């Protein structure tokens, strides 16, 4: 069984040793190791991908919990194989209703085999969509839309989420949040073609460049915003010369962005692709 272990906490010495020693002592085959020290916030983060016997998953979780308590680390143990037939999704939203609506319809219609376990918003715009599909809703933004990252993590852990879908969720995740759920668990819909048009206004940037082809990108999240090397799927549409920016944005938001998100999530949930060393690879 493929298992991903993430550890996040205050930077210190010898944080990795007990984790590595335990898994290797139990005969695990290590497939990937990544470690990060974010000096500006004194943050340590590690990802460990291993092959481990499925019948020892509970024992592994208990051991990692004990190590986390000793080392003051938040350690999470997750396997994409544990609920492979119907993984649990958290859908994070801000204002746009079209992407989460398309995703929920695709799940309802059997296009995506997943369970929409919870919807989380930093604004209340998509609450009605959650209620329409009978999905638990949690509003975690303050009056300005700012989010408490610990509250977000508590919800994700409480609902035992497998994948976090950022469906036009217009908040940048902190480095700590990214690494708590690293290893291809966070999927983002960006409303522009990466890597050419990153940032918050890709339609406007493409329009200023006199583009006739616009698009959206579904990609795995890593700490660098819209880094562009973790692309799962891209969808495009072409406009005639002279079409207004407003009409282009309307087409993109109503049709292209939702279509891109649905196909991107389907590829991940179906385990056609996975993230490995910050690169998207096709599973054999």
pLDDT tens-place string over residues 137-177: 999 999 999 998 999 999 999 999 999 999 999 998 988 89
pLDDT tens by residue, 164-219: 999 999 998 988 899 999 999 999 999 999 999 999 999 999 999 999 999 999 99
Residue 158: count of CB within 10 angstroms of its CB? 11
Q: Which value, to the nearest 10 degrees, does the dihedral of the CA atoms of residues 275, 57, 159, 272 take?
A: 30
DSSP string computed for 81-128: TTTTTS-EEEEEESS--HHHHHHHHHHHTTSS--EEEEEEESSSTTHH
Q: What is the mean pLDDT of residues 49-60?
A: 94
pLDDT for position 254: 97
DSSP string computed for 163-185: EEEESS--SPPPHHHHHHTTTT-
pLDDT score of 38 more than 70: no
Joined tokens for residue 67? 């190590």
Q: What is the mean pLDDT of residues 9-19?
A: 84
Q: How many CA atoms lie within 13 A of 51 on its CB side?
A: 2
pLDDT for position 278: 83
| Residue % of the chain over a pLDDT of 70 | 96
DSSP string computed for 221-270: --SSTT-SS-EEEEEEEE--TT--HHHHHHHIIIIIHHHHHHHHHHHHHT
CB 241 within 8 Å of CB 212: yes
Q: Decide: pTM greater than 0.85.
A: yes
Q: What is the mean pLDDT of residues 241-250?
A: 98
Banded model confidence at residue 14, pLDDT cuts 50, 70, 90: confident
Indicate which residues carry an active-site annotation: 226
Q: What is the mean pLDDT of residues 246-269?
A: 98
Q: In angstroms, rounded to a whole number, what is the distance separating the alpha carbons of residues 231 and 267?
A: 11
pLDDT for position 175: 86
Q: In angstroms, rounded to a whole number, what is the distance separating the alpha carbons of residues 267 and 232?
A: 8
Banded model confidence at residue 226, pLDDT cuts 50, 70, 90: very low
pLDDT score of 37 more than 80: no
Place of tokens 């004990």: 66
Domains of the chain, each with CATH number or no CATH: 2-78 (3.30.70.260), 88-282 (3.40.50.170)
Q: What is the mean pLDDT of residues 253-258?
A: 98
pLDDT tens by residue, 76-93: 999 999 999 999 999 999
Banded model confidence at residue 100, pLDDT cuts 50, 70, 90: very high
Backbone φ and ψ for 40, nearest 5 degrees, come out as -65, -25
Banded model confidence at residue 222, pLDDT cuts 50, 70, 90: confident
Mean pLDDT taken over the chain:
93
100-104, 152-156, 239-243, 276-280: least confidently modelled range: 276-280
Q: What is the mean pLDDT of residues 248-252?
A: 98
Q: In angstroms, rounded to a whole number, what is the distance separating the alpha carbons of residues 202 and 193?
A: 8
């Amino acid at each position: 069984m493929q298992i991903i272990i993430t550890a996040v906490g205050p930077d210190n010495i010898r944080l990795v040793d007990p984790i590595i020693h335990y898994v290797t002592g139990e005969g695990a085959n290590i497939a990937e190791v990544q470690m990060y020290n974010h000096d500006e916030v004194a943050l340590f983060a590690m990802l460990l991908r291993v092959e481990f016997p499925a019948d020892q998953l509970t024992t592994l979780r208990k051991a990692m919990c004990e190590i986390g308590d000793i080392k003051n680390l938040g350690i999470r143990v997750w396997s994409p194989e544990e609920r492979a037939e119907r993984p649990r999704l958290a859908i994070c939203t801000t204002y746009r209703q079209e992407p989460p609506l398309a995703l929920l319809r695709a799940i309802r219609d059997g296009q995506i085999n997943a369970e929409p376990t919870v919807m989380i918003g930093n604004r209340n715009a998509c609450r009605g969509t959650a209620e329409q599909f009978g999905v638990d809703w949690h509003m975690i933004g303050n009056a300005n839309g700012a989010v408490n990252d610990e509250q977000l993590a508590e919800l994700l852990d409480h609902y035992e989420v497998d994948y976090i879908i950022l469906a036009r969720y217009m908040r940048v995740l902190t480095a700590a949040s990214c690494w708590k759920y690293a290893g291809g668990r966070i999927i983002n819909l960006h409303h522009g073609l990466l890597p050419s048009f990153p940032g918050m206004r890709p339609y406007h940037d493409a329009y200023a460049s006199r583009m006739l082809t616009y698009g959206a990108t579904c990609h795995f999240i890593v700490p660098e915003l819209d880094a562009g090397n973790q692309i799962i799927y891209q969808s495009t549409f072409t406009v005639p010369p002279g079409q207004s920016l407003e009409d282009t944005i309307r087409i993109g938001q109503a049709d292209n962005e939702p279509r891109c998100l649905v196909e991107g999530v389907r590829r991940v949930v179906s385990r056609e692709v996975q993230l490995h060393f910050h690169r998207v690879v096709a599973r054999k």
